[in-house]
Chain A
């Protein structure tokens, strides 16, 4: 009888501890959230007004939409490093997968006709929308990342419908495609170095340079995002080793 009572007491104390822990975390998160909200509403006006500064120089930047101008011209270095981070992510995924090109292309096993018909109709439209978003990024909301997200979603849809067989690891051509965005960006940034400072595009060519960079970024970021889905290490395949 006594061991049973002891066990019950111990269990009840554990449950109480669990509840106390949850309650404390909840109270702290609520307090933090409220303090953040209060701080957001209480912010003083910023000392430097950036928006008029951007608007003043937007004619030299090569894009008439301020977000694109900031992303690819005024703060182009940040975008360059972001692309490097994305490239590192896909390299990490590929490293976890291993480099065995002898495996077979994997494809969805039960293809479904309705989904395939839908995908066949939608894919050209997705490519068109991606191209439109890329082009429109210069003067209205859009840009390279949004276009590449749509393209990557199209590739994933093709794979899930059973219309695209994904290779086990990317071959040489796919690897060139994965890295081409970053390489083009670095080459153009370095070429501007010869002229002045890093990433300082000459204003006469800024529009064309931004378009070239954005186009190659769209292509390779779409491949990177789709690759994150297609080349995720598969537990079923690893179990065979």
Chain B
């Protein structure tokens, strides 16, 4: 079953690179934050594949949860500020 594992790892690495690149190049800020959350979740998967479940738990909770909420809050504030002008 090693071929499946390698294929899965390769797919995971490619989707990490793709979501990271898209998070940086997309123009709508909200979409960038959503792509960042997706990147965080894929990163948690990558940590689990590297046999580091502690870091996977922390990455899923903090990277996808708390930092995602903080960034969404920031995007909301920026939009409200722009609307006030």
Contacts and interface: CB of A to CB of B under 8 A. Distances in A.
Q: From DSSP, what is the main secondary structure of chain A's interface residues? A: helix
A5 B77 CA distance: 43
B70 A149 contact: no
A236 B76 CA distance: 12
A149 B73 contact: no
Interface of B: 53-54, 57-58, 61-62, 65-66, 69-70, 73-74, 77, 80-81
Given A141-B53, A146-B58, A228-B66, 20 more contacts: A142-B54, A143-B54, A146-B57, A146-B61, A149-B58, A149-B62, A149-B65, A153-B65, A153-B66, A156-B66, A156-B69, A225-B66, A229-B73, A232-B70, A234-B77, A235-B77, A235-B80, A235-B81, A236-B77, A236-B81
Contacts of A234: 77
Interface in A65-117: 67
Interface string A148-165: 011011001000100000
A145 interface: yes
Nearest to B17: A33
Interface in A217-235: 225, 228-229, 232, 234-235
Contacts of A142: 54, 57
21 contacts: A67-B54, A142-B57, A145-B58, A146-B54, A146-B57, A146-B61, A149-B65, A150-B61, A152-B66, A153-B65, A153-B66, A153-B69, A225-B62, A225-B66, A228-B66, A228-B70, A232-B73, A232-B74, A235-B77, A235-B80, A236-B80
A203 B15 CA distance: 46
B54 A229 contact: no
Contacts, number: 46
Most buried by A among B61, B66, B70, B80: B61
Contacts of A153: 61, 65-66, 69
A236 B81 CA distance: 8
A229 B66 contact: yes
Contacts of B73: 229, 232
B51 to A, nearest CB: 10
Nearest to A140: B53
A72 B62 CA distance: 20
A229 B69 contact: yes
Contacts of A138: none
A133 interface: yes
